[in-house]
Amino acid sequence: MRLSVIGCGYLGAVHAAAMASIGHEVVGIDVDERKVASLSKGEAPFFEPGLQEILTEGIASGRLSFTTDMSAAQGAKVHFIGVGTPQQPGGYAADLTYVHAAVDGLLPYLSEGDIVAGKSTVPVGTAESLAPRVSERGATLVWNPEFLREGWAVQDTVDPDRLVAGVPSLDGAPSEEGARTADVLREVYHPSIAKGTPFIVTDYATAELVKVSANAFLATKISFINAMAEIAEVTGADVTTLADAIGHDARIGRRFLGAGIGFGGGCLPKDIRAFSARAEELGRGESVAFLREIDAINLRRRDRAVDLTVQALGGSVFEKKVTVLGAAFKPHSDDIRDSPALDVAVRLHGLGADVTLTDPAAIENARRIHPQLTYVEDRDEALRGADAVIVVTEWDEYRRELDPAHAAELTAGHVVVDGRNCLDAAAWRSAGWTYYGMGRP
């Protein structure tokens, strides 16, 4: 099937390349000429495992192309909207400027029977407001939210854990038009559905809520265990053992019960804030009022990581060399948007520390935003002469491959702050380190 993807940022580029990898003919369209030029040469503009390979393959096969010309969308059967929905400046609500611009730009090139499939994360009610404009062109709007995890985005696109299609509905069931639209999407995603991926057909509002409620639940689970870490820190309890114990309960589960410096990135923080803002607009702000506290807990853990480092160095980090391991908001990514790791590094620098930062993928992105820090690509070189080390992104290079005895030979001091509770505390202490964890004695 011929597809177009409007917006070739993180979501759009991955989706375009993944759709080409399963056999579709795909054109990606974006207003950013430099991004399009990079993608057209088969060069991934950001780090995402597996993307470079399917991008190169797609370009070489002729099934994948990129352009700045919106007219290239003409003739595609399904048009995916994958533009960003950032947080509004000075507020919590989502900025839908790019969504509206993408739809407006696409409208002249739609044909009778085309399908416009929104993938961007939007406030509930957005699809309902856009649908009439699409219908005027004889096309149909469907909302098909993405559930990508950075670092696993290619896998999550090609082999998702579920697919959701919000289609035109009548009396709680898909209309005839909605049923037809769902059938076309089943064709698009046939390889995944054939392997047993659930395909859920619902109305617009439910499809929009699936995405934001999933993010809200995940943020709540992460912040819950971080709240328990705060209690553990004043009682002497060990939050890691606590998480293990409650995680054995099948109703709770152990995944994402890892206490640390909290979540970040370009999605989770802004999505829960936008959800809160939309609930207020709907007159149901009290229903998700807890998300404000979730956000606050999450941000407090960054404060705690800085405080621990100051405490570990005797009450002041002024003119002390602190090596920060990690800049990306999570491993297997070069994304520094709202990165807790980079935030902690910048705060320590602001307190007078001589901060040296290293990361396997995100150094260049971090340097562009915060040139005041010292960046070193080689991990061991970054450790050399450090008074303290703080782990803030749980790359395998730090949590599994860094031998504490080897690290001790490189540093001037033997203080380690484990901002992700990802290190073997006993092993580091045995190697002569003073170990500080998050919610751990």
What sign results for the dihedral spanned by CA atoms 308, 312, 314, 319? negative
Q: 89: which 2 tokens? A: 């400046």
CA distance 394 to 339: 13
Verify whether residue 267 is a known catalytic residue: yes
3-state SS, residue 299:
helix
Which of 130, 267, 297, 366 is the catalytic position? 267
Q: What contacts 406, CB < 8 A, 6 or more positions away? A: 380
Q: Find tokens 């499939």 and name the residue.
A: 117
Q: Which residue has the tokens 């562009």?
A: 368
**Contact between 324 and 348 (Cβ < 8 Å):** yes
Instruction: Find, among 67, 61, 63, 13, the residue nearest to 40 by Cα.
Output: 67
What residues have CB less than 8 Å from 218, skipping those under 6 apart? 256, 263, 268
Q: Please report, for residues 122, 131, 369, the alpha-carbon distance to residue 142 in angstroms, rounded to integers and kept in the order given.
A: 13, 8, 37
Q: Which residues are catalytic?
A: 267
